[in-house]
Amino acid sequence: MRRPDPSVTTGEADESNPVECPYCGSTETEREHPKGPSLCRSMHFCHGCGQPFERME
């Protein structure tokens, strides 16, 4: 049982902790590549606005 805590916006890329879209602010995002192109970046896709985005970790 998890619920989002609006006071915590660190946005760590974790399957159980959705990343907030930088374009529309939606948390309806999906991590596209589990391992990502590098250790410090990961690719995500926003279902809210349909934009892919890259996130630094």
* Chain residues in the site for Zn ion (CB under 5 A): 21, 23-24, 26, 46, 48-49
Smaller CB separation from Zn ion, 27 or 36? 27
**Cα–Cα distance measured from residue 26 to residue 48, given in angstroms and rounded to the nearest whole number:** 6
Residues 6+ apart with CB under 8 A from 6: none
CB of 1 to Zn ion, least distance (A): 26
CB of 20 to Zn ion, least distance (A): 9
Q: Please, which residue, 9 or 39, has the CB nearer to Zn ion?
A: 9
d(CA 32, CA 2) in angstroms, rounded, equals: 22
